[in-house]
Structure 1
Amino acid sequence: MTAPEGKRRAPRPLHEMRDVYDFLEDVRLRPGLYAFQSSILHPQSILFGFKVAVEIHGTTGAAPFDADGAFTEWLRHQSNGQYGSLIWGHAIELEAKDRGVPPMDLFFELLDKFRAETAR
């Protein structure tokens, strides 16, 4: 991801991140730090841990990525239910394998589409 003037944005320290999407942009910048062999399952586990921390501390945050969250429901609709009740990480892994693309690339493609459609 590049900034408008063509320079790549530097990763932000955690204390400067405002929400889960800021964190995911850091994952996009440095996927090797968060994912082994381009697997989306590792970042999904991080988001699950984020959800647990949010619930323990009574705040809000990763709800779109919960098992029944907006991203999960959107993804089920996009795939016409092809992956049934699989968690979204596994569904993306299977779709990426079918398409012959890295799962992280597919995840960010889908995330961008999800954000564009739900921002309206």
Structure 2
Amino acid sequence: MADTGKATRRPRQLNELEDMYDFLDEVRRRPGMWVRGRSLLHLESMLMGYTAALGVHGINENCNLRAGSQGPFAQWLWNRLGMAYPSSLGWAVEIERRAEQTDVPAIEMFFDLLDEFRGTAHQSQDDAKPKRH
């Protein structure tokens, strides 16, 4: 394996992750391991389960990536993609459609858009770390 000059870190165990963005960082590093077929619909389903688990365990974490067409990320995305109306199909489908049109892997486009979203004023100061009860 060629040395790329980049420092690599070992994959983290689930119990080492602190929030949804830590989890998504692991997915970004090894998408084929986490997301079947690199499908954003599968990723969206995983995040839905993540959000459900937060509720079940009484963990208050501000999740900007809600399933479907609701939530801060989806609202930002509709504007970013120049869509006049919110899509009832949700952010995963719309990113996959756009990726197909531009011949960019959907998972790559998702992470580029997520980085852009997180860099905007839409990112709340206090949603970075979960509050455990």
TM-score, scaled relative to structure 2: 0.78
Within 5 Å, give how 1:10-89 maps onto structure 2: 10-61=10-61, 63-66=63-66, 67=68, 68-81=70-83, 84-89=87-92
Largest Rg, 1 or 2: 2
**Superposition deviation, residue 81 in structure 1:** 2.2
CA distance in 2, matches of 1:45, 1:62: 17
Deviates more, 1:97-106 or 1:52-61: 52-61
CA distance in 2, matches of 1:62, 1:96: 27
Preserved contact between residue 47 and residue 62 of structure 1 (Cα < 8 Å): no
Structure 1: runs of 5 or more not aligned? none
Structure 1 residue 105 corresponds to structure 2 residue 103:
no
CA distance in 1, matches of 2:99, 2:6: 28
CA distance in 1, matches of 2:38, 2:53: 25
Letter in 2 for 1:78: R
Instruction: Give the number of aligned pairs.
Output: 116
Q: CA RMSD, aligned part only? A: 1.9
Structure 2: runs of 5 or more not aligned? 125-133
CA distance in 2, matches of 1:12, 1:27: 11
CA distance in 2, matches of 1:43, 1:107: 10
